[in-house]
């Protein structure tokens, strides 16, 4: 039995170390396919310095002239003197282009927004049915972490869905209740994806996708969900949350965007 045990140990070591690499074997090709659909969402004002200010990440959906992102990424009010809403895309020659964007539809309860952009259509990302997402499933997301500090080249992170959990009021005393949390309680709860990969400011609105196919299963949220889930913590964690993409699919359906 001794040789059999040795072979079994070697098998476990070899395949235990290589399985993650095998699972992400298609990732380079997937990233190459996904990156043209990733845009930087921000504001532009010619007289400001810098002229473009990043507010978050978005990705192309539908007919190629619509962008999905978080609702909190879009400024709440505009006046004639305010910067205009734009998305920054990378052209065929690698040059950065700014395109004006207009808010078309939003779902405040799930912190989602759909923008319409000017110009030629861009490649849209396919969306999966997020009801079939499972805990332990490997995922990736691409966006613009830490604002423009790292430049405006999309950055990809990978990890797993560590938990599928409902948004609910955190445990604590009555002093920790606030208007947002009470509003969330009144309007019910919904499941979110908790990821073990770290997202950063600027990643809000980044698509979470299948590393093999590029199909979107969720949207990174760095403000809305984190403030709700971690309101009782004095020191916020590095946990990343994502909104299931089915809420976005429904929003696009309501807007007749395909």
Check residue 235 and give its pLDDT: 55
Q: Looking at residues 25-45, what average pLDDT do you find?
A: 94
The H-or-E segment that residue 17 falls in is helix 2-23
How far, in Å, CA of 9 to CA of 155, rounded? 37
On the question of pLDDT at 135 being above 50, the answer is: yes
CB–CB of 145/200 below 8 Å? yes
Lowest mean pLDDT among 3-7, 22-26, 68-72: 3-7
CB–CB of 58/86 below 8 Å? no
Tracing tokens 């959906």 back to the chain, one arrives at 61
Pick from 233, 229, 225: which is nearest to 71 by CA? 225
CB–CB of 54/90 below 8 Å? no
Summarised one tens digit per residue, pLDDT across range 196-235 is 998 888 999 999 999 999 999 999 997 766 666 665 555 5
Note the pTM of the prediction, 2 decimals.
0.81
Summarised one tens digit per residue, pLDDT across range 146-178 is 876 767 889 999 999 999 998 753 444 444 455
Lowest mean pLDDT among 13-22, 146-155, 175-184, 246-255: 13-22
Q: Looking at residues 103-127, what average pLDDT do you find?
A: 94
Percent of the chain with pLDDT over 70: 76
Check residue 230 and give its pLDDT: 61
Check residue 8 and give its pLDDT: 46
Decide which of 192 and 13 is more confident. 192
Q: Looking at residues 184-206, what average pLDDT do you find?
A: 83
* Chain mean pLDDT for the chain: 83
Which domains are present in the chain?
Answer: 36-117 (2.40.10.10), 130-254 (2.40.10.10)
Q: Looking at residues 28-32, what average pLDDT do you find?
A: 96
On the question of pLDDT at 4 being above 70, the answer is: no
Pick from 158, 162, 156: which is nearest to 143 by CA? 156
The H-or-E segment that residue 193 falls in is strand 191-195
Q: Which long-range contacts (CB under 8 A, 24 or more apart) does 253-256 make?
A: 254/105, 255/104, 255/105, 255/114
Check residue 181 and give its pLDDT: 55
CB atoms within 10 A of CB 245: 27
Percent of the chain with pLDDT over 90: 57
Decide which of 150 and 142 is more confident. 142
Q: Looking at residues 72-82, what average pLDDT do you find?
A: 84
The residues, ordered by sequence, that sit 6+ positions from 105 with a Cβ below 8 Å of its Cβ are 113, 114, 251, 254, 255, 257
Pick from 148, 35, 155: which is nearest to 91 by CA? 35
Check residue 7 and give its pLDDT: 47
On the question of pLDDT at 180 being above 70, the answer is: no
Whether the bond between 50 and the residue before it is cis, its omega within 30 degrees of 0, is yes
On the question of pLDDT at 77 being above 80, the answer is: no
Check residue 228 and give its pLDDT: 63
Pick from 36, 55, 28: which is nearest to 203 by CA? 55
How far, in Å, CA of 131 to CA of 191, rounded? 10
CB–CB of 205/254 below 8 Å? no
């Amino acid at each position: 039995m001794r040789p059999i045990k040795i072979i079994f140990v070697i098998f476990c070591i070899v395949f235990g170390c290589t399985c993650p690499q095998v699972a992400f074997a298609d990732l380079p090709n997937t990233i190459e396919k996904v990156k043209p659909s990733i845009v930087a969402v921000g504001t532009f004002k010619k007289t400001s310095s810098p002229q473009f200010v990043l507010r978050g990440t978005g990705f192309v959906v539908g007919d190629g002239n619509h962008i999905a992102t978080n609702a909190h990424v879009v400024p709440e009010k505009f006046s004639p003197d305010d910067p205009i809403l734009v998305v920054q895309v990378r052209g065929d020659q690698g040059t950065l282009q700014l395109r004006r964007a207009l808010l078309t539809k939003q779902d405040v309860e799930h912190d989602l927004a759909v923008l319409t952009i000017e110009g030629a259509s861009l490649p849209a990302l396919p969306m999966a049915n997020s009801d079939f997402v499972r805990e332990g499933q490997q995922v990736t997301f691409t966006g613009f972490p830490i604002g423009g500090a790292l430049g405006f080249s999309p950055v990809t992170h990978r990890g797993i869905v560590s938990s599928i959990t409902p948004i609910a009021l955190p445990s604590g005393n009555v002093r920790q209740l606030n208007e947002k949390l009470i509003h969330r309680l009144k309007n019910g709860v919904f499941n979110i994806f908790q990821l073990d990969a770290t997202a950063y400011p600027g990643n809000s609105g980044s698509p979470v996708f299948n590393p093999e196919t590029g199909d979107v299963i969720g949207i990174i949220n760095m403000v809305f969900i984190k403030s709700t889930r971690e309101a009782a913590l004095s020191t916020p964690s590095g946990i990343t949350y994502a909104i299931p993409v089915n809420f976005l699919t429904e929003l696009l359906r309501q807007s007749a965007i395909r």
